[in-house]
Amino acid sequence: MCGIVGYVGQREAADVLLDGLSRLEYRGYDSAGIAVFENEIIKVAKSKGRLADLQAKMQKEGKPSGHAGIGHTRWATHGEPSDRNSHPHGGGNVTLVHNGIIENYKKLKEFLLSKGRKFESDTDTEVIAQLLDYYYEEHHGNPVEAIVKTLKELEGSYALGIVFADFPDRVFAMRKESPLIVGIGENECFIASDMTAILKYTKNYYLLEPGEIAVLSRQGAKVYNLHYQKIEKELKTADWDVSAAEKGGYEHYMLKEIHEQPESIKKTITPRIENGLPNLEECGITPEKLLEFNKIHIVACGTAMHAGMVGKYVIEKLAKISVNVDIASEFRYREPLVGEGDLVIVISQSGETADSLAALRLSKELGAKTLAIVNAKGSSIAREADMLIYTHAGPEIAVASTKAYMVQIAVMYLFAFELALANKKIDETECRRLTALLQGTPDKISEILEHKEMTQLIASELITADSLLYIGRGLDYALSMEGSLKLKEISYIHSESYAAGELKHGTISLITENMPVIAVATQQNLFDKTISNIKEVKARGARVVLVSRESYQPEKDVADFKFGLPDYEDLLMPMLAVVPLQLIAYYTAVLKGTDVDKPRNLAKSVTVE
């Protein structure tokens, strides 16, 4: 869950590395560091804290000057955040940066200690550096042979950027599980965990496959396999530019990404609609294939799992097919009843989520077909799934996901519509009607974004709360789960979501005087029941925020605050109602003074279990 970057070329490497790290800091910000060849000597600068702390340190102590180097921004796994545990880590001739986890590092460390090696940190990463240097000496200074030998010893996930003291004009890289790309410019090359780090310099890149080793120089990049055989790689081109990964005048990336949701929906669904009907053939999905599946499993983590919950309700309502939704980290360890005739849908913004990737691989082993819904092109989940739907959210920089969630549920709607039509649970006329309504959601969302003042008022009422509840029924319950997650992850206020009908089964005991309860009530067939539940918490002293249709005028004993939504089809209301929930979380965090885009202890892409 760290970010790594590397550079070889004519520019000042430190400037390129720091710029790249600033764009990767959403992947981790416990510490940061760079290593640059200065007069053919590796100079390291690193510091606990944000990238700004490293930059301040270098202003006092000096910034390394040279044209080749590596950099790292960390989300701690082994060893507390500190200067000594910050990357890069060295061992003799070797200095490297690492994203991932080495599972057998203790065993390797014991071996290296027995050989007289000394360690300066508590990290698993230093073990890689020391082992690589050990084999580098054994193989008489051949970097690639030493890397191959080392990789055969490592267990776990990793992406590595490496420099060797004897090769001041080279950067070496490799990956297993953890993401890594190789950028190709004019007389310069890059490595990065994410394309956003290098878009300022090039749009051309190679995707490294697991077990491939890249050697970068000013002349270009050479890629080898574990047999030291050179591999010819397909040069790819990114389809968005650096402006898409910048704030564009907004105070925070999160606010910008909330406002980008209407356009992101259009980009995601428009290419998949033909003559008014869903058409997912370019994703490997045909009506005939959809008839093969008896049961559907949706597997994801965090916000993506909440998108899966919406998908479950919609698929079961329209297509009448049973759907299980699993947290990916639990799925693989409960011996899931998955096999031939089943479809497993894996949802992941990054396409590199470790637990989701493991769930996909297990599903394939058990004989199920797999469908990936991902945003990041060329990611591991995208490459390994049987079928693939790319979402077109563009880069999402804020750790708290907004537009990625929105396009994930948009895709789930399209999939549900086509599945229901293929199974003859709805006719073509109804499918066209629903598809047209889905196409109309961007305009409705834009309308909501123009009237967000009430969310700021609501946020001002929440900032003193120690704890609060989100409640809803049906699709509103699935939505309340996402609203609660957004609030807690960026404002640090304890928040939980509950099915409104479950309040009487224990949770209502938590209600105290003036405790905030955010109630989502958009489903007309469940509306009266939800209002009854709201009255129950109101009678016990709760201050209620109601998110409902503008046309509903609540009685005084129902809500203290109300955010009104445009009237729309019940089935599609989650796409509208999530917007005020996102904004309430955002403005609450802003008023509390937290780091909205980089909340504590969190990273954007969870590439470790």
pLDDT digits (tens, 9 = 90+) for 292-331: 999 999 999 999 999 999 999 999 999 999 999 999 999 9
Classify the C-alpha dihedral 185-98-46-30 as positive or negative: positive
Backbone angles phi, psi at 347, to 5 degrees: -110, 130
CATH 3.40.50.10490 residue ranges in the chain?
Answer: 263-442, 453-592
Tens-place pLDDT, residues 441-490: 999 999 999 988 899 999 998 998 999 999 999 999 999 999 999 999 99
Q: Is 604 a catalytic residue?
A: yes
Going by pLDDT thresholds of 50, 70 and 90, the confidence category of residue 77 is: low
Options 2, 189, 283, 301, the catalytic residue: 2
Residue with the larger pLDDT of the pair 243 and 180:
180
CATH topology of domain 263-442: Rossmann fold (3.40.50)
pLDDT band at 25 (very low <50, low <70, confident <90, very high): confident
Name the band, by pLDDT with cuts 50, 70 and 90, for residue 1.
Answer: low
pLDDT in tens, 217-229: 999 999 998 888 8
Interval 217-244 mean pLDDT: 84
Span 3-245 CATH architecture? 4-Layer Sandwich (3.60)
Residues of the chain above pLDDT 90, percent: 52
**545 pLDDT exceeds 70?**
yes
Segments of the chain assigned to CATH 3.60.20.10: 3-245
pTM: 0.78
Interacting residues of 181 by C-beta distance below 8 A, sequence separation 6+:
191, 192, 193, 194, 195, 198, 205, 206, 207, 208, 378
Q: Please name the residue that has the structure tokens 């961007």.
A: 442
CA angle centred on 214, ends 211 and 217, rounded to 5°:
175
Asked if pLDDT for residue 22 goes beyond 80, the answer is yes
What was the pLDDT predicted at 183?
94
Q: What percent of the chain has pLDDT over 70?
A: 95
Place of tokens 């790689």: 233
Q: How far is CA 13 from CA 9, 147, 182, 188, 381, in A?
A: 8, 23, 16, 11, 32
26-42 average pLDDT score: 83
Q: Are 563 and 579 in contact (CB under 8 A)?
A: no
Q: State the catalytic residue, choosing from 48, 57, 63, 604.
A: 604
Question: What is the pLDDT at residue 243?
Answer: 60
CB of 175 within 8 A of CB of 158? yes
Kindly state the tokens that stand for 159.
Answer: 């992406």
> Which three-class secondary structure state does DSSP give residue 9?
coil
CATH number for the segment(s) 453-592: 3.40.50.10490
> Does the pLDDT of residue 565 top 80, yes or no?
yes
The confidence score (pLDDT) of residue 350 equals 87
pLDDT tens for residues 500-524?
A: 887 778 778 778 888 899 999 999 8
Instruction: Say how many C-beta atoms besides its own lie within 10 A of residue 35's C-beta.
Output: 32
SS3 of 10-40: the string is CCCHHHHHHHHHHHHHHHCCCEEEEEEEECC
| Per-residue pLDDT tens digits for 400-434 | 999 999 999 999 999 999 999 999 999 999 999 99
CA distance 24 to 364: 32
Helix (H, G, I), strand (E, B), or coil: what is residue 602?
coil
Active site residue 233: no
